[in-house]
Structure 1
Amino acid sequence: MAMNKYKIFFVLLFIAGNVQAKEDKAAYQDCILQYVTGTEDPSAASMLTHACNQLYVDNFMLSEKDANYNQCLLDYLPDSKNRAVSMKVKQTCNEKHRSFFN
């Protein structure tokens, strides 16, 4: 009986190991080129790079709220010129898309 539990465990482990995110390296690269290259604020560039990564590389189990949050960052951060504005945009996108009440 214990042997069957181990077999089931290893089968599930194998299946879980083979489930991968839908990684799209070309879309990630296009995202970086489109949104990050013209950004003047280093913190905005970092947030945009992370958003591209979340949407196109590490997107396994990405919720719709998180996808919308990351897209919001991509839509509004590229024109940011300073950290204060970047942080306000991040906070607003977070409240709009990830709030407990949304």
Structure 2
Amino acid sequence: MKLGLEAMLQLLQEVEQGDPLDFADLPMDEEQLRRLVMIDLLQRDEALQAEASPEECQLIYMLSTARLVLENLLLHLQLLRLEQPEGTAAEQLQALLRRFRGPR
């Protein structure tokens, strides 16, 4: 299924409703940033689809996602250490995991 830029932006907006991103008062237009990222991803996807098999594409997307999730986790841990410098690394990781899981 091939979706265009506007459809992908709409889907991204729907995904964010469940878990909004915190742009932390950055002096940038949020919609412009989303559009820039989505344009780049669609261009990369088009190039990848032309070069790789469906199995290779899936592997590349899984590895890319794993890398981004790991990078995000590390950034959150670094922020948590700045906000709450006390505690061991294991305690800080548990606090971060509780934050990700949300209220139950």
Q: Which has the higher helix share?
A: 2
Q: Name the larger-Rg structure.
A: 1
Common fold, TM-score beyond 0.5? no
**TM-score, normalised by the number of residues in structure 2:** 0.29
**TM-score, normalised by the number of residues in structure 1:** 0.30
